[in-house]
Structure 1
Amino acid sequence: MNPATELMLYNYRSRMEPVKGAQVDFYERLSMRGVLWACLHDLHGNAFQDFFQDMMTLCVPGFVDVRTHGNLGDRASDGLDLHDARLYACYAPETVDPVATIRKFRSDLAGAVKKRSGQFTTFVFVHNDVRGLHPELSVELAKARSAYPSISFEVMGFRHFRDMLGQQNSQDVEAVLKTQLPMQHTIAVGLQEMEELLADLATKRISDAAQVPIETVSAHKLLYSDLTRDTQAELRNGMRYSAMISDYYQRRIDITERDEVAARFHTEYLDAVGNGLDPEDVLLRMREFLAGNRASTAPRYRAQTAVLAYFFESCDIFENAPIGWVPETKETVL
């Protein structure tokens, strides 16, 4: 393999081969995140509802998957948790429209109150938007809580699916996702894929963007970011490619390209933070800015992670840890 045209291959291999059917291990969870993320982009309408019901049947004892039946419909429910008195309502459009989402939420809630009175105490709105909850829907949830004080409200999305599936065994997860999880944990990212991503970024430049001051990344930045352990591990591994991305930009004819792309990333990051997204959803928003809504292969997902890690490491996205800041726990610095 020519190192000038192909990024290096590297392996994550556990000392023991994972046992088929055993609970998903750490590296399989990392692989699963990318598979699930790509999967949700292709799941809309009934296909998403089928996925949700399969997952809940696997993960939640007492879950009843409610199917549409003739003139009865589904009686305003896509699923019931008999143990915890939760009612689930799914919404998975191909294109996210906050106005349509709020209208669907109101309709589902009104139908549940009318047709399922006494059967639930918590209303869970389930969606397929990997970016997280739209700010306008969070306002609508607050209004619903005031209008129905006897009902609790929850939202369920990508991160909830990820965490629930991460507690199951690998065979069952593969059955729900309808694809095999990588068992050898081999990660291969081609330079061509990376260059395609970087070329796409070049088309998103804004010439009047404010330049981001260059600062040295803190050794504690990953911990300070408040991202999950799995996400921190992904970014740390992606940083292995940072030198190659730097070399890519150094070879560009337009020497301002990197700085303008970095400024655009920083602008998107500030907008995501300004919308009140939590760190995990901020990073998902940045991934969508980088790659759009296209379904992602595993190598392309990892290439995206490498690009995100590069801009994370250069302090264009996420805040640096303040001088003197140290983790409150005794965890090892990543």
Structure 2
Amino acid sequence: MSAFVLSTYFQLRLHRSNGNQFQDLFNELMTRSQGGYVAVKPWGSHGDRGNDGYVPAELRFFQLYAPSSEANPVTSCSKAVGDFSKLEEAYPNLKHYHFVMNDKFQGIPAPVAESLVKLKQDKSTLGDCSPIGAYELRSRFEALSQEQQILIVGDLPAFIPKQLDLSILGAILKELADNDDDLVHLDRIDLPAEFDAKAAFNGFSDAVKSRLTQYARRSHLVDKMLSHRDSSWLQSISEEVKQRYTGTPKGATPDERFWLLSESLIPEFAKAHAHTLKAFREASLLVIAKYFEACDVFENPNSTAAPKAH
């Protein structure tokens, strides 16, 4: 079973987990990934005293929050600070505090992070005092052995539909296509000085150069997606894109090879619906622009290779 498939199923469990389901999933993950972790369940009127789980040897405590609907930042802040007050009263010697929030990969609300920073400033004895969201939980899951991962995600299907692209490249394309940000909005800093030289060296027309420039100004979105992944993903995607570019017809013009590469990155299932196709085409151009800029795909003017003919 591929690492991507297992990671995908873990993400699905996170998306479906609220309340006690999330607490059970978190406890299972921590028990398998953190030595000495102790899960805590509420007990009658005693409750959990603000402690959903802890590592006694480190005096590190975790309080969980998994709202059933989109979280209200004000409610989340109140929960984070209020639970710490209960925890501090019950465990006055605590050293580390983490507010674990199932943000469904939307990111921890800024007010929550800010409230924890202020809490640490007010409590000089605190070491770590930080939020933990879905991205960090996924990273912890992906660091486990495959055997441990399978035990967490449970039963898997006997076969995977052929129309699904379960490669690392497929994963990043899907995340980009699902991204709410405007992929073509130009808001990035200027491109590297050699960008124009490389476009000319590869023999691209002004139209293709303009399209590359348009998406390169947003290529930091790829960095944003990869920042939550293992470092090996960057190289894996680079090699896959380069391999597909190498597979385009050598007799085609530079512009034709560019567009053939873009189309080759789009999974078949995305081509059945116009809006999905558009989202994946923009994602493919974003990935190509990222690796073009990094000199990982196409020809490099600093190499010994001969330039492409216009």
Q: TM-score, normalised to structure 1's length?
A: 0.56
Where do 5+ consecutive residues of structure 1 fail to align?
Answer: 1-26, 262-289, 291-303, 327-334
2:231 paired with 1:229: yes
- Alignment match of 1:242 (pick from 252, 257, 262): 262
- Asked whether the 8 Å contact 1:64–1:80 carries over to 2, the reply is yes
Q: Would the alpha carbon gap of residues 321 and 79 (structure 1) be closer, same or farther in structure 2, given more than 3 Å must change?
A: same
- Quick one: distance in 2 between partners of 1:247 and 1:83? 48
Q: Would the alpha carbon gap of residues 98 and 211 (structure 1) be closer, same or farther in structure 2, given more than 3 Å must change?
A: closer
Q: Hey, what does 1:142 align to over in structure 2?
A: 117
2:162 paired with 1:188: yes
- SS state of the match for residue 165, structure 1? helix
- Quick one: distance in 2 between partners of 1:31 and 1:95? 26
2:108 paired with 1:133: yes
CA RMSD of aligned residues (A): 4.7
- Alignment match of 2:85 (pick from 110, 133, 149): 110
- Quick one: distance in 2 between partners of 1:247 and 1:51? 31
- Alignment match of 1:67 (pick from 35, 41, 52): 41
Letter aligned with residue 166 of structure 1: E
Q: Would the alpha carbon gap of residues 91 and 32 (structure 1) be closer, same or farther in structure 2, given more than 3 Å must change?
A: same
- Quick one: distance in 2 between partners of 1:246 and 1:168? 30
- Quick one: distance in 2 between partners of 1:101 and 1:61? 28
- Asked whether the 8 Å contact 1:77–1:89 carries over to 2, the reply is yes
Q: Hey, what does 1:166 align to over in structure 2?
A: 142
Q: Which has the higher contact order (CA 8 A, sep 6+)?
A: 1
- Quick one: distance in 2 between partners of 1:321 and 1:163? 25
Deviation of 1:156 after TM superposition, in Å, equals 1.8
Aligned length: 235
Deviation of 1:73 after TM superposition, in Å, equals 0.7
- Asked whether the 8 Å contact 2:3–2:146 carries over to 1, the reply is no
- Asked whether the 8 Å contact 2:63–2:100 carries over to 1, the reply is yes
Q: Hey, what does 1:269 align to over in structure 2?
A: none
- Asked whether the 8 Å contact 2:265–2:284 carries over to 1, the reply is no
- Quick one: distance in 1 between partners of 2:283 and 2:7? 15
Q: Would the alpha carbon gap of residues 30 and 319 (structure 1) be closer, same or farther in structure 2, given more than 3 Å must change?
A: same
Letter aligned with residue 46 of structure 1: N
Deviation of 1:246 after TM superposition, in Å, equals 7.3
Q: Hey, what does 1:176 align to over in structure 2?
A: 152
Greater Cα shift, 208-217 or 130-139: 208-217
Deviation of 1:100 after TM superposition, in Å, equals 1.5
2:53 paired with 1:51: no
Deviation of 1:136 after TM superposition, in Å, equals 1.9
Paired residues for 1:160-309 under 5 Å: 160-180=136-156, 188-189=162-163, 213-215=210-212, 225=223, 227=227, 228-232=230-234, 235-236=237-238, 242-244=262-264, 308-309=283-284
Moved over 4 A (4+): 208-213, 233-241, 244-248, 318-322
- Quick one: distance in 2 between partners of 1:319 and 1:134? 34
- Quick one: distance in 2 between partners of 1:319 and 1:127? 37
Q: TM-score, normalised to structure 2's length?
A: 0.60
- SS state of the match for residue 163, structure 1? helix
Q: Would the alpha carbon gap of residues 103 and 238 (structure 1) be closer, same or farther in structure 2, given more than 3 Å must change?
A: farther
- Quick one: distance in 1 between partners of 2:26 and 2:82? 20
- Asked whether the 8 Å contact 1:33–1:162 carries over to 2, the reply is yes
Which digits, 9 at most, give the CA deviation of each residue in 1:42-90, with x for residues without a partner? Answer: 1111100010011111111211100011111111100010122100000
- Quick one: distance in 2 between partners of 1:166 and 1:209? 33
Which digits, 9 at most, give the CA deviation of each residue in 1:102-126, with x for residues without a partner? Answer: 11111111111112212x2000111
Which digits, 9 at most, give the CA deviation of each residue in 1:263-320, with x for residues without a partner? Answer: xxxxxxxxxxxxxxxxxxxxxxxxxxx7xxxxxxxxxxxxx7x8744433246xx994
- SS state of the match for residue 2, structure 2? helix
Deviation of 1:142 after TM superposition, in Å, equals 1.6
Higher helix share: 2
Q: Hey, what does 2:96 align to over in structure 1?
A: 122
Which digits, 9 at most, give the CA deviation of each residue in 1:226-265, with x for residues without a partner? Answer: 74434436745885683157799xx99x9xx89xx6xxxx
Percent identical among aligned pairs is: 18
